[in-house]
Structure 1
Amino acid sequence: MKILIIINDAPYGTEKAFNALRIANQLNKDFPEAEVVIFLMADGVNCAIPNQNTPNGYYNIERMLKLSTRKGTRLLLCGSCLEARGLKSVELVEQAEISTMAELTKEIMNSDKVLTF
């Protein structure tokens, strides 16, 4: 089974990215045979910026993404969204792949389930 999770929201301010990554990490834990793909677009691309410094006790999106990719999740980022935010040449977390809308549409069509946040 293939599950695509699309994150459109910034890493902090709401808990959408946090909850999306909680689901991704739980899927990796409970269903290791499932293929999980995360696609970051719009302000969601900010989730892949490294060296996030959050207060102790506060969730850290970078750490959650790293846990997910270590468990096999594929991490794709919208290239035009990065470019629009001046982030095209910024260092990204390991395993991040710059992608396209064409790739996203293929991922949607090849997924059994699509979740959006």
Structure 2
Amino acid sequence: MGSMQRIDDHLHERMKQLVKMKNGRSLTEEYRQAIEHWIAKETQNILLADSQILNRMEDRITKAEERLARMNGRTGMDVSIVLTGILNLLAKQYGVSERQVYEELRPVAAAHFSNSKKEF
């Protein structure tokens, strides 16, 4: 059995009136039901608040992912423009195809990229 708690007189009187109107359960049972109802409602409110926080976090993460994807796409396009320009200039300067310049530089760049501490 739990500990005894004091309830304000006006609330206790109102509960006794409700018990008389229902004419079926004891005062103790009505208090028990009221407390269980309150606990269930508060638990539901907490869960709802938690789910709203989770939804907000998911929305923010989704927006950040989308922004990063757009930035990555723009960066990729810019790199592609620079690469195309450099390949074109080198091909014209050395009288070879852009493909030949690319195939010669690609392995060197890949090795440097995978181990940036190495010197060229």
Q: Same fold (TM over 0.5)?
A: no
TM-score under structure 2 normalisation? 0.26
- Structure having the higher Rg: 2
Structure that is richer in strand per residue: 1
TM-score under structure 1 normalisation? 0.26
